[in-house]
Structure 1
Amino acid sequence: MERIKTLSGESDEKILGKIIVSVVMPVYNAQEYLAASLDCLLNQTLKDIEVICVNDGSSDNSLKILEEYRRHDPRVVILSQSNKGAGAARNLGFSQGSGRYVYFFDADDLCAPDLLEKCVNAAEAQEADIVAFNFSRFYPNGNEEQRMGIHDDWLPKGCKVFSWRDCPELIMSVVNPTPWNKLYRADFIQKNQLRFEEISTTNDITFCAVSMAVASRVTFLKDSLFRYRVGHSQTITSRKKKNWANIITAVQSAEKQIKRLPYFEEIVDSLCRFIIENCIFGINYFDGDYKSVSFGEYYNRVRSIFAGEMFSNVSIDTVKNELLVQKFRAIRKNSYEDYLKLAGHKIVISLTSYPKRIKDVAGVLETIFRQSRKADEIVLWLAEEQFPKKENDLPDNLRKLVDQRKMTVRWIAEDLRPHKKYFWALPSYPDDIVITIDDDLIYPSDMIDSLFVSYLIYPRAVSAMRAHLIVINEALEIEPYNNWILETDHCRYRPCMQLLSTNGAGTLFPPGIMRKNELYNSDAIKDTCLNADDLWLKAMQLCENVPVVVAHKYKSLQYVPDSQEEALAHDNMTMCQNDVQLRKITDWVDRKLGDGYFVRKLTLPPQMEDSVQLLGVSAICKMFRAERCREKNERRVLNNRLQRALTAEKELKDVCRRLRKENVALVSNYQKTQNELQKIKKSKRYKLAEYLARLVWFVRRHFKQSKGKLL
């Protein structure tokens, strides 16, 4: 291996035999994985290392394993302490290290064989205090997913070395706040007196975030060099429920250290984001125990922190994360008692389908299973007349999900087309949160979370991932549907009566918000808008004074490949069926409640905080339309590329599937041929033929030899 020069310029000969990297590894009851972790470290391509293993009061065979490795490799150093936690173990290990660099590793994880060599080379080349890199998470079932260790897209373009000056608002969050995806220069840690918090959990986030804030030079590698094991019972993540207060201790320690820096005012937004992220992580992670006394205490402490003066100017502009700001707002708004009332309801996902699309439903639901906030129940409403054999008409992958109890199929007698997704769900789950989705979309992983947080802020509004702004002209008339501001997010996070939620893109209905009997008038639906559930629900929302909130910055819909050959949107928009159906609905509502009722309700401002009223000012509408047109063209291009990529991927998968089948068939035929050949070889006829062939060969050879002698 190529020797590495020191920062002081020492030659290779002078540093020969010196320790370049001290690896510090806390060990606590890790006997199951310890050997694999040690093998990863001791087989590194960089050999000039020491592996300092701090036995943190293990009660299993971990110490014996360490001693066995030390007998075979003198680079293993063993230190012992009573059980004080990983933070104290790392501090002890670092204090005894002699390497120019230090790397903190966990006793149940794995890494690439060239991790240390690559990181040291990068540190030397860039004279860096810290070298960060990407990583992956691997699960007991064998699945593995790649993760970003650094958000290099937050840095100036082309930036290879950075400090707080390059991204002051994000410096404490730009790199994942874990110690195992970074190599540190040892004298940098000593100079800045950096230490891990000596608490049982969450002991690393302060060290990692503060080190980023004080580092003069940070560089990064895009390689994925570390593999984080998920599911080990002794990992920090699995033990956090017992130690909620440690999160508060960790963020307050970080705040105290950052406030001492002379440039604190320049990175205060980054500190705010760091505190908000970690405090909210605690609330999200412990959500299942929200009724416990300890969770109530934690929630109130977080709410008290968020009420501090430092957080008075928190906004999307300062924190740079819309969903995080919405969660911050939800906590500041809701007392613990209010949070209990709102968060105590089940989340029910409701959708419908029909025979031509039913094959896609399992794929759609996979994106629901991967949501960052999980649903409590998933219900698929199907019309009996479309599936006369019921379960036997469903594809195998969907029946499998039913058998695994991941979802429920509810059979209904009446086919109300797209209305089926809400028509029976809302009355069947009156005390639960109902989120409607479609059978042809791939949903972003934060959809449920975004809708839920919006609901916490506006519990008496419908929250939607996608909405259109109904345009009303100066004469107080509704403009044609195609003149509306489609897919608008200009007034997101603000309730508005003029917003029309598109319910298939993900729409949340709070418990009991739509109770009027007229909503469930199937005859009226058939007479007015059988193919336009969004318009019917909008009319019912107006009748109940329920506004709509856009809960997420709009992103182009991602459709399941080949699912749009038959879609209601084509007829509703291109053939102006939306206008026809809307006219029927407004006439029906006006007959019931008085002339002009529909438009009057649209123009009334919602009676709630932060609401917005957008009447038909022509200049504003034109501006919106021009901007939306530009955005829509850009999105259309991107969406077309995405659809082509998805289609190509599907075609490639089909080809691979066909080739696999052909390969299986070829292998099977080959095996059959081999079996038949073996049978033939074992037969008497084959043996006789083989004997005769040998006899003929022997006679010919003997004849040639005899003939040669005669000559």
Structure 2
Amino acid sequence: MPRFFTEREPTPAPRRETEPDVTVVIPVYNSESWLDDCLSSVLAQTGPSLEVVCIDDGSTDSSSEVLDRYARLDPRVTVVHQPNSGQSVARNRGLDEAKGRYVVFLDSDDFWPSDSLATLVADADAENLDMLLFDCFSFRDGAVPEAVWTRYAHYYQRSREYREPRSGAQMIVDMRRNRDYRPHVGMYLTRTDFARGAGVTFIPGIVHQDNPYTFALMLRAQRTAHRRDDIYARRIRAGSTITALADANSVKGYLLSFLDMSEELRNWSPEPGLTSTLAEVVYGTFEGAHKKFASLPREAVAELHSLATSPDAQIALQILTKAHASPPRR
């Protein structure tokens, strides 16, 4: 298993700022093998003042001990221990705890490969941005199926830069038209008061929660921009959420994301000419559910019907059921 940073005791840092420049929120569940890479990469950032909020989501390995060790030796690190509640709840808790002017999310098995945070903060300040998007490179760790690696090897790298500030809705549309829209929540820096004022939270209990969160946040953003820099390193490994995801959980996540995003778009005051492309993004989550629905056992379908009880949800489930019950066209 590759390691990218030398294991060491964290060195003492300056006292915590009352309002740091950036809060880094790291949800943690059984990540002991990767936490040194993750935390070392954050604490090595120079320039902006930092707060690192780690939400230990009921880990059963040694993650808690690793986190507490960092917190003892570096006052910038805060650890919140909670019963296992899922990544969405952990991220929501981290946002609630954030004291920084900006907030950024980082998954506990990933890391930042370079000292780039100062550049992001300077750009966001100079352009008065609500959100600053950036890119990510993937790396393979261990025995990952070839089909999975082929899908994600370059998935998080966009084809061009979108440096000129624009609304979040316009950014989604521009990126979608170039097949560059990526909702992964670790790929942008957000102004904290904007994120809180938007009232957007992660949906508890589902995977694919990045889709509705990022979509809703960007619909509300007045000023966004993008740097075509690989700020984030994404570990593609066996046993992760994206490589070991059960079809039933995937369909549930996509379906509930689709319903949430549909409501967001329905309640949004559209800018001229954008609604059709935004609807394509929303429909993409429905397509994700459609691709895997046929593989679900009856009990999983029944559970979906009991979970998603709104009229829109029942209509979507009827469409999925009838589509897979119909004979294929010849």
The TM-score normalised by the length of structure 2 is 0.78
Structure-to-structure mapping, 1:187-206, within 5 angstroms: 187-206=193-212
Q: Which residue of 2 aligns with 1:448?
A: none
Shift of 1:249: 1.4
Question: Residues 162 and 259 (structure 1 numbering): CA distance in 2 closer, same or farther, change over 3 Å?
Answer: same
Question: Residues 262 and 70 (structure 1 numbering): CA distance in 2 closer, same or farther, change over 3 Å?
Answer: same
Question: Residues 246 and 265 (structure 1 numbering): CA distance in 2 closer, same or farther, change over 3 Å?
Answer: farther
Question: Residues 174 and 307 (structure 1 numbering): CA distance in 2 closer, same or farther, change over 3 Å?
Answer: farther
Query: Which residue of 137, 143, 166 corresponds with 1:162?
Result: 166
Query: Which residue of 286, 296, 301 corresponds with 1:279?
Result: 286
Question: Residues 307 and 129 (structure 1 numbering): CA distance in 2 closer, same or farther, change over 3 Å?
Answer: farther
Q: Which residue of 2 aligns with 1:86?
A: 87
Distance 2:192 2:23 in 1: 9
Q: Which residue of 2 aligns with 1:132?
A: 133
Question: Residues 212 and 99 (structure 1 numbering): CA distance in 2 closer, same or farther, change over 3 Å?
Answer: same
Q: Which runs of 5+ in 2 are unaligned?
A: 1-16, 144-148, 306-311
Asked if structure 2 preserves the Cα contact closer than 8 Å seen for 1:25 and 1:51, the reply is: yes
Structure-to-structure mapping, 1:684-703, within 5 angstroms: none
Distance 2:119 2:86 in 1: 30
Query: Which residue of 229, 233, 239 corresponds with 1:233?
Result: 239
Q: Which residue of 1 aligns with 2:8?
A: none
Deviations along 1:306-346, one digit per CA (max 9) or x if unpaired, are 999xxxxxxxxxxxxxxxxxxxxxx79x73223xx54xxxx
Q: Which residue of 1 aligns with 2:99?
A: 98
Shift of 1:89: 0.7
Amino acid at match of 1:162: R
Asked if structure 1 preserves the Cα contact closer than 8 Å seen for 2:127 and 2:165, the reply is: yes
3-state DSSP of counterpart to 2:132: strand
Q: Does residue 208 in structure 1 map to residue 196 in structure 2?
A: no
3-state DSSP of counterpart to 1:78: strand
Asked if structure 1 preserves the Cα contact closer than 8 Å seen for 2:137 and 2:157, the reply is: no
Structure-to-structure mapping, 1:440-479, within 5 angstroms: 459-460=329-330
Distance 1:336 1:113 in 2: 47
Structure-to-structure mapping, 1:22-33, within 5 angstroms: 22-33=23-34
Deviations along 1:517-568, one digit per CA (max 9) or x if unpaired, are xxxxxxxxxxxxxxxxxxxxxxxxxxxxxxxxxxxxxxxxxxxxxxxxxxxx
Question: Residues 67 and 166 (structure 1 numbering): CA distance in 2 closer, same or farther, change over 3 Å?
Answer: closer
Question: Residues 263 and 335 (structure 1 numbering): CA distance in 2 closer, same or farther, change over 3 Å?
Answer: closer
| Percentage of pairs with the same residue | 23
Question: Residues 33 and 167 (structure 1 numbering): CA distance in 2 closer, same or farther, change over 3 Å?
Answer: closer
Shift of 1:291: 5.8
Distance 1:255 1:265 in 2: 18
Shift of 1:252: 1.2
Question: Residues 240 and 24 (structure 1 numbering): CA distance in 2 closer, same or farther, change over 3 Å?
Answer: farther
Asked if structure 2 preserves the Cα contact closer than 8 Å seen for 1:87 and 1:198, the reply is: yes
Asked if structure 1 preserves the Cα contact closer than 8 Å seen for 2:22 and 2:48, the reply is: no
Distance 1:199 1:121 in 2: 36
Question: Residues 214 and 40 (structure 1 numbering): CA distance in 2 closer, same or farther, change over 3 Å?
Answer: same
Q: Which residue of 1 aligns with 2:277?
A: 270
Asked if structure 2 preserves the Cα contact closer than 8 Å seen for 1:170 and 1:269, the reply is: no
Q: Which residue of 1 aligns with 2:298?
A: 293
Amino acid at match of 1:65: V
Distance 2:171 2:123 in 1: 21
Amino acid at match of 1:112: P
Deviations along 1:217-274, one digit per CA (max 9) or x if unpaired, are 1111111111111124243552353422222112212222332222278543234212
Q: Which runs of 5+ in 1 are unaligned?
A: 1-15, 309-330, 343-458, 461-711
Amino acid at match of 2:33: E
Structure-to-structure mapping, 1:511-590, within 5 angstroms: none
Distance 1:35 1:23 in 2: 15
Distance 2:126 2:193 in 1: 17
Distance 2:80 2:60 in 1: 15
CA RMSD of aligned residues (A): 3.3
Question: Residues 264 and 293 (structure 1 numbering): CA distance in 2 closer, same or farther, change over 3 Å?
Answer: farther
The TM-score normalised by the length of structure 1 is 0.38
Deviations along 1:386-425, one digit per CA (max 9) or x if unpaired, are xxxxxxxxxxxxxxxxxxxxxxxxxxxxxxxxxxxxxxxx
Amino acid at match of 2:316: I
Query: Which residue of 145, 151, 165 corresponds with 2:153?
Result: 145
Q: Which structure ranks higher in relative contact order (CA pairs < 8 Å, sequence separation ≥ 6)?
A: 2
Question: Residues 84 and 223 (structure 1 numbering): CA distance in 2 closer, same or farther, change over 3 Å?
Answer: same
Aligned pair count reads: 298
Shift of 1:131: 0.8
